[in-house]
């Protein structure tokens, strides 16, 4: 009777060790999978943060551009008129005969 109990106890002990080893192996695999998933999620979060910062910067630049367009819009007509006047001046200068003064120039 004692021998059979010892045998049963030994068998249970071996079974427990095997089950424990299997559980440890499964747990290690699960932990490794969780670590990989965590790393993947961290990369995803970093990418989302980068995209958010990029969108915020884009929005900021769009706001600045809108403000500049609002300020520079009325100046477009002035610039156009200046361009036309400058062309008229350039044409008048080209049509006007002019001579360079030659007095007081020393040539060697």
Confidence of residue 73 (pLDDT cuts 50, 70, 90): confident
Mean pLDDT of the chain: 90
Distances (CA, A) of 62 to 42, 50, 65: 30, 18, 5
**Looking at residue 96, what DSSP letter applies?**
S
pTM of the model: 0.53
With b for 16 or more beta-carbon neighbours within 10 A and e for fewer, the 19-40 pattern comes to eeeeeeeeeeeeeeeeeeeeee
**Mean pLDDT calculated for residue range 87-103:** 78
């Amino acid at each position: 009777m004692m021998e059979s109990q010892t045998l049963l106890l030994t068998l249970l002990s071996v079974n427990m060790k095997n089950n424990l080893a299997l559980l440890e192996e499964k747990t290690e695999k699960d932990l490794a999978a969780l670590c990989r998933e965590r790393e993947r999620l961290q990369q995803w979060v970093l990418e989302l943060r980068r995209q958010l910062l990029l969108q915020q910067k884009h929005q900021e630049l769009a706001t600045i551009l809108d403000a500049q367009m609002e300020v520079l819009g009325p100046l477009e007509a002035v610039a156009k008129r200046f361009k036309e006047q400058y062309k008229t001046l350039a044409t008048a200068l080209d049509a006007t005969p002019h001579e360079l003064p030659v007095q007081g120039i020393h040539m060697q």
